[in-house]
Structure 1
Amino acid sequence: MKALTVDKVLDSIMKLDFSSRAIILEVLRSRQIEERRDEIFRNARQSKADLSKGKLKPATAEDVIDKLKNL
C-alpha cells in the first residue's frame, strides 16, 4: 500500500468539484468537533475518578486562576 502524504491527499481533494470539497470540509469539521468532545469527556471522567480517590482537591475557578498566575 502506498503511503499517503498530506500534499497528495490535498491534491486529490482539489481535483474534486466545489460541492464535494465543501462536503469534505464539513465532515472533517464535524469529526474534529466530535473527537474534541470525546477528549473532554475522557478528561472529565478521569478528573472525577481522581477527585474521588483524593488525588485532586476541590477548588474554585478563582483559586485555580490565582495558582496559574503564580506559575
Structure 2
Amino acid sequence: MTTSFEKALNTVSQLPPEQQAMLVEIIQNRLIESRRKEIAQDAKESIATFQQGKLRPQSAETLISQLQKVLEEDP
C-alpha cells in the first residue's frame, strides 16, 4: 500500500510541467506564509514575556555573543 505522500507525488507527476511548476510555487508561498505566522507568534510571545518582566534588557553585543556561543555548541 502506498502512502499519501507517494500518492501525491504520483498525482503531481501526471500534471503538465507548467502546472507542476505552479504547484511548487504555491507550496513555497504557503510555507513562507506559515513561517511568517510562526515568527509573528514567537514575537508576540516574546513581547508578552518581556512586558511581564521575565526578560531583562540586554545590549546587542551581549545578545550576539550569547547567540554565537549557542551556535558554536550546536554541531
Structure 1 portions without partners, runs of 5+? none
- Match of 1:56? 55
TM-score by length of 1: 0.84
How far, CA to CA, are the matches of 1:66 and 1:15 in structure 2? 51
* 1:15 maps to amino acid: Q
- 2:48 pairs with 1:36: no
1:6 to 1:54, Cα distance in 2 relative to 1, 3 A: same
1:4 Cα shift?
Answer: 5.2
How many residues align? The count is: 69
1:49 Cα shift?
Answer: 0.4
How far, CA to CA, are the matches of 2:31 and 2:60 in structure 1? 27
How far, CA to CA, are the matches of 2:46 and 2:10 in structure 1? 42
Correspondences of 1:1-71 after superposition (within 5 Å)? 5-68=4-67, 69=69
Deviations 1:11-35 (A, max 9, x none): 1101100111011001001000000
Q: Percent identity?
A: 35
* 2:10 maps to amino acid: D
| Larger relative helix fraction | 2
* 1:37 maps to amino acid: R
